[in-house]
A and B are shown apart, each in its own frame.
Chain A
Amino acid sequence: MTDLLDFARGPALQFSLAVFVFGVVWRLVSLLFMPRLKDKSAIRSGAKPTMIAAVAEFFRRMLPKPEFAKRTRFTTINGWVFHLGLAIIVLTFAPHVLFIKSLTGLTWPALPNIVIFAVGGVTVVSLILALAHRLSSPVLKLISTMDDYVTWVVTITPVLTGLAAASHVGLRYETLLAIHILSICVFFVWFPFGKLMHGFLVFLTRGEMGAQLNRRGIKL
C-alpha cells in the first residue's frame, strides 16, 4: 500500500497541483485580458480612488446589509461556518502545516488535533446542511447545476477522508492517507473547471461592483 501512498504523494499531487495552478492562471488571465469598455461617464465628485473602493467592497460584501440579514441568515451563517471550517482545517492542522512548509518554506503554529476534529465535524455538518438546503429550496433546486453537486462532493470528500485518516478508522493509516491525498488531488483538478473558482473570481466581481458603485456615488 505504500505504492498507493507514494503515487498519491508523488505524481498525483504534482499533476493535480499543476492542473490547479495552470487552470486558475489560465482562467484568470483569459478573463483579465478580455477587451473591456472604458466607462466614459463623468465620475461623481467626491468619489474615492477606484482601487480603494474595489478593495473596500470586497470586505463589505463579507456580511449582508442589515436590510437583507434576516432573509439570508441561514445561507450567510452556514456559508461562513463551512468556509471558515475549511480554512481552519487546511491551514492549522499540524500535518497540513508541515506539508505547506515543505511546499513553500512558510510555517506557523498548528492547532491541537482535538480542535481540528471538532472543526472538521462542524464543517461536515455545515456542508450537509448546505446540500440539504440546495435540495429542498425551490429556488436553489431551480438554479443548481451539475457543477454545484460535483463541487459539493469534491469539497466534502477530503474533509471526510481526512477525518478518517486522522482517526485511523477502517483501513490502514497509509491507505487512508493515500485516499485522503487523492481526494485532495481531485479537488485541485476540479478547482479551475467548476465553481470553486469563485475563490478567485470573487476579487474581480466584488472589485468591479465596488468600482461602479463608487463611480456613481452609491453607498450601499
Chain B
Amino acid sequence: MLTTEQVQIAADKFTALTGGNIAPYLEACVHCGQCAEACHFYEATGDARYTPAYKLVPITRAWKRSKSPLSWFGLGKTVKTEELEEWQDLIFDSCTMCGRCSAVCPMGIDISAIVAATRQAFAAAGMGPEDFMQAAENVRTKGSPLGLTSNKLVDRLEWLEDENDMEFPLDKKGAEILLTVSSIEMMKYPDSIVAMGKLLDHAGVSWTFSTKGYEATNFGFLSGKMDLAKLGVTRIVEAAEELDVKTVVIPECGHAYGVMRWSGANILGRKLPFEVLHITEFLADLKRAGKLKLKPLKGSITYHDPCQISRRGGAADAARYLLDDFAEDFREMTPTANFNWCCGGGGGVQAMASATDLRHKVFKIKMDQVEATGADTMVSSCANCRLTMDESIAHWKWDHGLNSLVEVMAENLIE
C-alpha cells in the first residue's frame, strides 16, 4: 500500500513533467478509441484496459487538477493511491513504448512519450515492477542491467577472442568508431558481438570498444529513473570524448538506439559531440561505399522491425537496404516497416517477470505475421526483441527460425 507521501511525490512529479511538449497532448484526446486497434496488448487480449488512451489517465488527472488552464475550477479528480496501484501494470507491464498507437491517433498524440513521463512519476514514488527496477539500479552499481561490469566485459571479450581467433580493439584512442554493446547480447547472444567485429574488420573500419562507456541499453530511461538515464548516457559520452571518436555505433538494440539517438542530448543537456548510428545504418553506409562483400543468403527470410529503430527511430530503410541483393528470398510481413507489430518486450517489458504471460500472448501476432509470409526464418536487429521472441518461441514450441541480421551477414562474408 502506498503512503500519502508517495502519492504526493507522484502527483508533484506528474505536474513537474507536464511542460509545453506534453500538456497539449493531455488536453487533446477525443476518446475515439482508435488507438486500441493499434496496440498489441489490446489486439492480443481484447481487454479494453489495455487501450492506450486509458494509460494516460493518471497523468491527465494530475494535470487537470493542478496545472491545466481549467484547474482553478477545482473540479478535476485528485490522483489517488488505488489509482496509482491499479495503473502500475498499464504503465509498465503493458506498454512497450512502441508508438504504434500514435501512428493511428487522429489527434497525433504521442502516447509513448506520455507513458515515459508517467513512469518517471511512478519511479519517483518508489513504484514499478521490482525485478525491472532492480535491473535499472544495477546500472548504478554494476554498470549494466545484467551485471556486465567493466571487468566482466574485458573477460568476455578475451574469451570471445580466444574462441573466434580474432582481436577486439579496446580503448583505442583515435579510432573513428566507438562500438557499444547491449549486455543482453554479451550475456545471451555473444555471437552478435563477434559478428559485428568481423563485419567492421572486413570493411577495414577503425573501431574500438571502451571499458568506460560500453553499455548501450538505457534501463534508467525505460524505468523512469532519469538520474540513471543520465549516468548511462554520460558514460558513453565521456568515453567517446576521451577516445576522440567521430561516431558512436549502437548495436542490435532498439531502445538503446532510440534513447541515445533521440533523447541522449536532451538527457545530457547539450548536443552530443558525435554522430549516433544504429549498426544497421552504419553497415548500410559501408555497403553503399562498396565495403561489404557478401555471398547471397539462401532460404526464405522475413524481417521483424524493432519499433525504436523503425517506427520511432526513422531507420527502417537501413535493414532493407542491407537485405536487398543479399537475401535471395526476402518476404515482407503485413503490416511492415513503420507499421510492423511490436515483439511485446520493448520498453523494458522483457525484463518484467510479471509480464511473461502477456508477452507470450502478444507473440502470437508475430507468429501469424511470419506464417503468412511463408518464410522459414525471421531476422531482426534487436537483441531485446530476439530474447523476447526466443522465449515465446520456446513457450509455443514454434518451429520457425529466428536470427540476428548482423549474424547472418557475418556468416556470409566473402573473406
Contact = CB atoms under 8 A, between A and B. Distances in A.
Interface stretch (A100-108, A177-185, A191-199): A191-199
Nearest to A209: B108
Given A40-B265, A208-B110, A195 B31 contact: yes
Residue with the greatest number of chain A CB neighbours at <10 A, chosen from B30, B36, B53, B339: B30
Contact of B37 (A32, A68, A134, A213): A68
A64 B106 contact: yes
Contacts of A67: 103, 335, 339
A32 B20 contact: yes
B108 A205 contact: yes
Interface string B212-231: 00000000000000000000
Interface string B325-340: 0000000000100110
Contact of A143 (B21, B23, B33, B268): B33
B48 to A, nearest CB: 4
A72 interface: yes
Interface residues of B, number: 55
A41 B48 contact: no
Interface stretch (B135-143, B169-177, B307-315, B366-374): B307-315
B51 interface: yes
A42 to B, nearest CB: 7
Contact of B104 (A26, A65, A142, A206): A65
A39 B315 CA distance: 19
A138 interface: yes
Interface in B25-70: 25, 27-34, 36-38, 42, 48-49, 51, 53-54, 69-70
Interface string A144-156: 1100100000000
A143 B24 contact: no
B397 to A, nearest CB: 30
Interface in A100-154: 134, 137-145, 148
A210 interface: yes
B107 interface: yes
A76 to B, nearest CB: 8
Contacts, number: 157
A34 B313 contact: no
Nearest to A194: B70
B56 to A, nearest CB: 9
A148 B107 contact: no
Interface stretch (B79-87, B270-278, B383-391): B270-278
A75 B102 CA distance: 16
B28 A68 contact: no
Contacts of A96: none
28 contacts: A27-B70, A30-B69, A31-B20, A35-B19, A35-B20, A37-B20, A41-B263, A42-B276, A61-B106, A64-B34, A64-B104, A64-B106, A71-B34, A71-B38, A139-B51, A142-B48, A193-B70, A195-B30, A195-B31, A198-B107, A205-B25, A205-B107, A208-B25, A209-B109, A217-B314, A217-B315, A220-B103, A220-B311
